[in-house]
Amino acid sequence: LLCIVYIMNIKYSEIFYSFQGEAELAGKPSVWLRFFGCNLECNGFGQDNPADESSWELPFKDADLSLIKTVEELPVFSKGCDSSYSWSNRYKHLCPSESVEEVCDKIEAQLPNGRFVQDEHSPGATDTMLCFTGGEPMLRQKHMQAIVEEFIKRGNCPKTVTVETNGTKPITGAFKDWLSLITYELDMRWHWAISPKLLHTAGEKDAVIPDVIVGYADACSRVTTILKFVCNGSDASWNEIDEALKNTSLEFADISDVVSFPDVWIMPVGATKEQQESVVDIVMETMRRGYKVATRNHAYVFGNQIGT
């Protein structure tokens, strides 16, 4: 593979080592790169009425930053987007802007023994996954490509890459071509975890874009795709999920002979450990409807901490 030298700086809010806490790859050790910048705000999360902007409480707007020096010192916000520090200009000064090489150095520093792949001959050994999140990582397609290319150059390429995306920014032709090449040549799994944002949970209007979702799933033969909807248990929330799935399935119909419809996961709303401890009704309704349950397992393990 031809490795290109990229001269660019990458703005990000945090790099940390944890495990995937949600959905299909839950439990997999992972290093996370959280890009700075998003095209959505999702201020309706955790609100009593997510669709009524006038009723919202947004603690990220009022947090006292006078003694805060790093993102890790911030609290987890219980209302509004729990990662608003990754897109709000209020927090931009806390977020570094570094070269591709510097970012990859910091990612490697989080890895066990500095490697994505450990001794494959050890019984039960697994690789560490590289996770791109945000913010919105699909605003940073060239950055993701540059980072993976740098790891190829170092002889330390991840076997599994997840992109946690809101599914609103189309994949570019250049990125799609690169993805087809890179996943085939390196036998890499590229996993799209698409979480469309809804009015009655996130306060976002017209943020489910089926043709963009199809574009991810149809990017190449070695990608896997899931849909992960956040639900607050209200009738309005469930109805909106039903409508989103109906519209998305119509878009998939044209390629159904090539690409299967993604698995659907339902994640109870709640950024904090306490909010995730009263989700029985949502979980039972999820199973009744035939969907998969995605709880936020990292919240149970680490509590209300950023960088976990």
In this predicted structure, the answer to whether residue 5 has a pLDDT above a threshold of 60 is no
Q: What is the pLDDT of residue 305?
A: 75
Least confident range of 15-19, 105-109, 252-256, 277-281: 277-281
Of the ranges 76-80, 237-241, 256-260, 301-305, which one carries the lowest mean pLDDT score?
301-305
More confident residue, 99 or 257: 99
- Inter-CA distances, 270 with 30, 103, 273, 286, 298, Å: 22, 30, 8, 16, 12
Gap between the Cα atoms of 106 and 150, Å rounded: 13
Q: Are 16 and 32 in contact (CB under 8 A)?
A: yes
Q: Evaluate if residue 116 carries a pLDDT over 60.
A: yes
Over 70: is that where the pLDDT of 170 sits?
Answer: yes
Strand partners, 15: 33
CA neighbours closer than 13 Å in the CB half-sphere of residue 214: 15
Cross-strand pairs, 191: 162, 224
82 three-class SS = coil
| Mean pLDDT of all residues belonging to the chain | 92
CA pair distance 12, 97, nearest whole angstrom: 7
Beta 9-19 vs 97-99: how paired, if at all? antiparallel
Mean pLDDT of 92-119: 95
Q: What is the pLDDT of residue 2?
A: 52
Instruction: State residue 115's pLDDT score.
Output: 94
Read off the pLDDT band of 64 (50, 70, 90).
Answer: very high
Around 97, how many Cα atoms within 13 Å sit in the side-chain half-sphere?
7
What mean pLDDT is predicted for residues 197-221? 96
Per-residue pLDDT, averaged over 108-136, amounts to 88
- Is residue 248 within 8 A of residue 218, CB to CB? The reply is no
Residue 4 pLDDT > 80: no
Q: Does position 106 have pLDDT exceeding 80, yes or no?
A: yes
Question: Given this model, what pLDDT does residue 195 score?
Answer: 97
Report the distance separating Cα 254 and Cα 239, nearest Å: 24
Average pLDDT (236-260) is 93
DSSP state of 118: -
pLDDT in tens, 252-276: 998 888 889 999 999 998 656 566 6
Determine the 3-state secondary structure of 256 from DSSP. Answer: coil
pLDDT above 80: residue 244 = yes
3-state secondary structure of 295: coil
The pLDDT-based confidence of 277 (bands split at 50, 70, 90) is low
Containing 130, the helix (H) or strand (E) segment is strand 129-133
What per-residue string of b and e applies to 44-83 under the rule 16 or more CB within 10 Å gives b? bbbbeebbeeeebebebeebeeeebeebeebebbbbbbbb
Gyration radius of the chain's alpha carbons: 19
pLDDT on residue 296: 82
**293 three-state secondary structure:** strand
pLDDT band of 304, cuts 50, 70, 90:
low
Which of the 8 DSSP states describes residue 205? S
| CB atoms closer than 10 angstroms to residue 158 | 26
- Which one is predicted more confidently, 53 or 278? 53
> What is the pLDDT at residue 275?
62
pLDDT of residue 287: 96
Share of the chain above pLDDT 90, in %: 79
- Please name the amino acid found at residue 270: G
